[in-house]
Amino acid sequence: MTKNKLNTLFNNIGDNAVNNENTSVNLIEEYINLHNDNKLKVNNTGIYLLLSAKNNAGIKATIKGKKTVNELTDLRKSVVNKLILPMADFKNLVETENNNETKVEKNLKKAEKKQNVESDYAVKKSDESIRNNTIRTTANNITYPILFLLSQDKSNYKFDKNRVKINIMSLEKNVVQSVFGFDKTKIETEGKYFLSANLTMLIKLSKADLFAVEVSKSIATETENENVDVATDESVKGEFNDSKDKQILKSVITFLDYLDKNKAFNSLLQIENHIFTLDNYGHKKNAITENVRKQSNNKNNYDLYGSVAVEFNHSKDFQVNNFDELESQFNKTFAIK
């Protein structure tokens, strides 16, 4: 019985997530209907005026013109704060640059502090914060899908049972490929071809269609870098063991091959130099070669480079910052023409 109840509770969470997506699609539909009825306005300002666009094609042109993530974020915030939230009577959730509290707000905070004696005061405030954050997050999530649909001709999309059906023949080949996973040119049709999308797919579709190529690449690169940083941080936490040793070795070799393939010689030089500064590893290898020196009264002097023993006569240390400097100083020192 307990197992079944646990399963039911987890399924409820999954169902709630799907229901939230469905509700978000319904919100998008309502905003689109308001726009089509010329009612999506706050203080006589609608989407076109907010984005300085003349028509639906102008919406796409405006967003495509944003070349950085910060510019796109500012655009989204503007739409959310000036249109999406106010239209739904959530002006209290609008983010403002003015952080100075009014007298009324200060008095309200004082009154709230007096209520702290209530046993459920803290949890009520927490619930309110969760609710407000969810509403604002939803507003953020639906903004680009709304703008995407408004940038399309009305005949290229339709709402049906918590889904949005999109005419993929009106979209670029690479956009369709990135979201739906197939080549639209393989479809045999003389007219339109509609595919259903939920909120998650619609968000991805809107960004693929509206964002400039350089912005999309920047977002992808930033995400990859964050994933690498997180994976690296996690891998060096906790107890060291054989399994972790093998996994790190595999990752390091993969990264080194990747750097070499992309001719990142400066980075490889830094890595190579860093290896020679490792304390434990350096002392261990030095101890091996030191035995040879002692037994031969310093007649046999060797250094180990990797697993190769190299006879040692003298060395030249080049103080350089990158691979080009190394090559230049090496050639100069040994008179390479």
Specify whether the CB–CB gap between 178 and 204 falls below 8 A: yes
pTM of the model: 0.66
pLDDT of res. 115: 58
Q: What percent of the chain has pLDDT over 70?
A: 85
pLDDT band at 121; cut points 50, 70, 90: confident
Tens digit of each residue's pLDDT (9 = 90 or more) over 263-309: 999 998 889 888 888 888 888 888 877 877 777 777 777 777 777 77
pLDDT of res. 102: 59
Specify whether the CB–CB gap between 101 and 77 falls below 8 A: no
Asked if the model's pLDDT at residue 217 lies above 80, the reply is no
pLDDT of res. 112: 61
Report the alpha-carbon distance of residue 158 to residue 154 in Å, rounded.
8
Higher pLDDT, 145 or 97: 145
Specify whether the CB–CB gap between 171 and 209 falls below 8 A: yes
pLDDT band at 261; cut points 50, 70, 90: very high
Question: How many angstroms separate the most distant Cα atoms in the chain?
Answer: 96
Q: Of 48-52, 81-85, 205-209, 239-243, where does mean pLDDT reach its minimum?
A: 239-243
- Cβ-in-10-Å burial (0-12, 13-18, 19+) of 87 comes to middle
State the average pLDDT over residues 231-248. Answer: 81
Report the alpha-carbon distance of residue 49 to residue 32 in Å, rounded.
16
pLDDT of res. 234: 74
Specify whether the CB–CB gap between 17 and 58 falls below 8 A: no
Q: Spell out the domain ranges in the chain.
A: 2-223, 241-333
Higher pLDDT, 117 or 23: 23
Segments in the chain forming alpha helices (H): 2-36, 47-51, 56-64, 69-79, 85-87, 103-114, 121-150, 173-180, 199-210, 213-235, 242-261, 265-275, 279-295, 323-333
DSSP state of 155: G
Specify whether the CB–CB gap between 50 and 82 falls below 8 A: yes
State the average pLDDT over residues 224-231. Answer: 63
State the average pLDDT over residues 50-65. Answer: 92
pLDDT of res. 313: 64
pLDDT of res. 138: 95
Report the alpha-carbon distance of residue 208 to residue 185 in Å, rounded.
18
